Amino acid sequence: MIKTAVMGYGTIGSGVAEILDKNRDVIASQAGQEVELKYVLDLREFPDSPVADKIVHDFKVIEQDEEVKIVVETMGGLNPAYPFVKACLMAGKHVVTSNKALVAAHGTELLAIARKKHVNFFFEASVGGGIPIIRPLYRCLMGERIEEITGILNGTTNFILTKMDKEGESFENALKEAQNLGYAERNPEADVEGHDTCRKIAILTAMATGKEVNYEDIYTEGITRITDIDFKYAEKMGTSVKLFGTSRIKDGRVLAYVAPVMINKTSPLYSVNDVFNGILVKGNMLGTSMFYGSGAGKLPTGSAVVADIIEAAQNLKKNVPMGWTDEKQAIESMDQAQFRYFVRAAGSYRNKEQDVKNAFGQVEVIELYGMDEFAFLTAQMAEGEFRKVAVSYDSREQERSEYGIKQMIRAVL
Amino acid sequence: MIKTAVMGYGTIGSGVAEILDKNRDVIASQAGQEVELKYVLDLREFPDSPVADKIVHDFKVIEQDEEVKIVVETMGGLNPAYPFVKACLMAGKHVVTSNKALVAAHGTELLAIARKKHVNFFFEASVGGGIPIIRPLYRCLMGERIEEITGILNGTTNFILTKMDKEGESFENALKEAQNLGYAERNPEADVEGHDTCRKIAILTAMATGKEVNYEDIYTEGITRITDIDFKYAEKMGTSVKLFGTSRIKDGRVLAYVAPVMINKTSPLYSVNDVFNGILVKGNMLGTSMFYGSGAGKLPTGSAVVADIIEAAQNLKKNVPMGWTDEKQAIESMDQAQFRYFVRAAGSYRNKEQDVKNAFGQVEVIELYGMDEFAFLTAQMAEGEFRKVAVSYDSREQERSEYGIKQMIRAVL
C-alpha–C-alpha distance, residues B75 and B102, integer Å: 10
Residue A205 CB burial class (10 angstroms; 0-12, 13-18, ≥19): buried
Parallel, antiparallel, or unpaired: how do β-strands B276-283 and B287-294 relate?
A: antiparallel
Size of interface A-B (CB pairs under 8 A): 164
Closest CA to A312 of A123, A186, A161: A123
Cβ partners under 8 Å of residue B351, min gap 6? none
Q: Does any CB of chain A come closer than 8 Å to the CB of residue B348?
A: no
Mean pLDDT of the B233-251 span: 97
User: Residue B400: its pLDDT value, please?
Assistant: 86
Give the closest residue to A133 by CA, choosing from B86, B136, B410: B136
**What digits encode the pLDDT tens for the residues A115-126?**
999 999 999 999
- Give the pLDDT of residue B270: 95
pLDDT value for A403: 86
Mean pLDDT of A369-389: 96
Three-state secondary structure call for residue A233? helix
In DSSP notation, A289-355 reads EEEEEE-S-HHHHHHHHHHHHHHHHHTTTSPPP-S--SPBPPB--GGG-EEEEEEEEES-HHHHHHH
Judging contacts by C-beta atoms under 8 Å, the chain B residues touching residue A22 are 284-285
Active-site residue, selected from the candidate residues B93, B200, B242, B352: B200
Average pLDDT over residues B250-278: 95
- Count the alpha carbons within 13 Å of B367 in the hemisphere toward its beta carbon: 12
Check CB contact under 8 Å for A135 and B131.
no
pLDDT of residue B126: 97
Are A10 and A74 a contacting pair, CB within 8 Å? yes
What is the C-alpha to C-alpha distance for residues A181 and A274, in angstroms, rounded to an integer? 12
- DSSP letters spanning A54-82: GEES-HHHHHH-TTEEEEEE---SSTTHH
How far is it, in rounded angstroms, from Cα B67 to Cα A143?
22
Is residue B3 annotated as a catalytic residue, yes or no?
Answer: no
Can you say which residues of B are annotated as belonging to the binding site for NADPH? Answer: 100
A364 is in an annotated binding site: no
Mean pLDDT for B276-291 is: 96
Return the pLDDT at B36.
Answer: 98
Amino acid letter, B23: N
Minimal-distance CA residue of chain A relative to B303: A286
Our CA-based measurement puts residue B145 at a distance from the nearest CA of chain A, in whole angstroms, of 7
The whole-angstrom distance between B165's CA and the closest CA on chain A is 15
How does residue B401 score in pLDDT terms, banded at 50, 70 and 90?
confident
| Contact by Cβ (8 Å): B223, B164 | no
Task: Output the pLDDT for position B209.
Answer: 96
Cα of first residue to Cα of last residue in chain A, in angstroms, is 53
CB contact under 8 A, B139 and A141: no
The B121-122 sheet, strands edge to edge: B55-56, B35-41, B2-7, B68-73, B94-97, B121-122
Residue B290's nearest CA partner among A283, A161, A26, A272 is A272
Is residue A239 a known part of a binding site? no
User: Is A270 touching B (CB cutoff 8 A)?
Assistant: yes
Please give the residue of chain B at the shortest CA–CA distance from A28: B143
| Model pLDDT for residues B364-378, shown as the tens digit of each residue | 999 999 999 999 999
Taking the C-alpha atoms of residue B305 and residue B129, their distance in angstroms, rounded to an integer, is: 9
User: What is the least distance, in Å, from the CA of A349 to any CA of chain B?
Assistant: 34
Rounded distance between C-alpha atoms, residue B172 and residue B354, angstroms:
36
Q: Which residues pair with B150 in a beta bridge?
A: B246, B280
Mean confidence (pLDDT) of chain A: 96
Shortest Cα–Cα distance, B324 to chain A (Å): 13
pLDDT at B291 over 90: yes
Give chain B's mean pLDDT: 96
Relative to beta strand B68-73, strand B381-382 is unpaired
A271 touching B (Cβ < 8 Å): yes
**Interchain contact A264–B (C-beta under 8 A):** no
Q: Find out whether A285 and B303 touch, Cβ atoms under 8 Å.
A: yes
Q: Which of B130, B144, B310 lies at the smallest CB-CB distance from A289?
A: B130
Cβ contact (<8 Å) for A26 and B139? no
Q: Would you list the DSSP string of B289-320?
A: EEEEEE-S-HHHHHHHHHHHHHHHHHTTTSPP
Instruction: Please tell me whether A283 is known to bind a ligand.
Output: no
The predicted pLDDT at position A377 comes to: 98
Q: Which residues of B touch A21 (CB under 8 A)?
A: none
Which residues have C-beta within 8 Å of that of residue B189, sequence separation ≥ 6? B195
DSSP H stretches of helix in B6-138: 11-22, 24-31, 59-64, 81-90, 100-116, 134-135
State the average pLDDT over residues A340-358: 96
Residue B351 in contact with residue B397, Cβ under 8 Å?
A: no
- Model pLDDT for residues A242-300, shown as the tens digit of each residue: 999 999 999 999 999 999 999 999 899 999 999 999 999 999 999 999 999 998 899 99
Domains of chain B, earliest start first: 1-128+297-313 (3.40.50.720), 142-292 (3.30.360.10), 332-409 (3.30.70.120)
Spatial CA neighbour of A291 closest among A278, A303, A301: A278
Query: What value does the mean pLDDT take over residues A396-407?
Result: 90
Phi-psi region of A355 (alpha: psi -120 to 50; beta: other; left: phi over 0): alpha
Residue B402 confidence (pLDDT) above 90 = no
Where are any strands of DSSP class E within B194-347?
Answer: 219-220, 239-250, 253-264, 276-283, 287-294, 338-346
From chain A, the residues in CB contact with B287 under 8 A are 130, 293-294, 297, 299-300
Average pLDDT rounded to a whole number, residues B92-111: 98
**How does residue B403 score in pLDDT terms, banded at 50, 70 and 90?**
confident
Residues 6+ apart with CB under 8 A from B385: none
Does A8 count as an annotated binding residue?
yes
Q: Is the ipTM of this complex over 0.95?
A: no
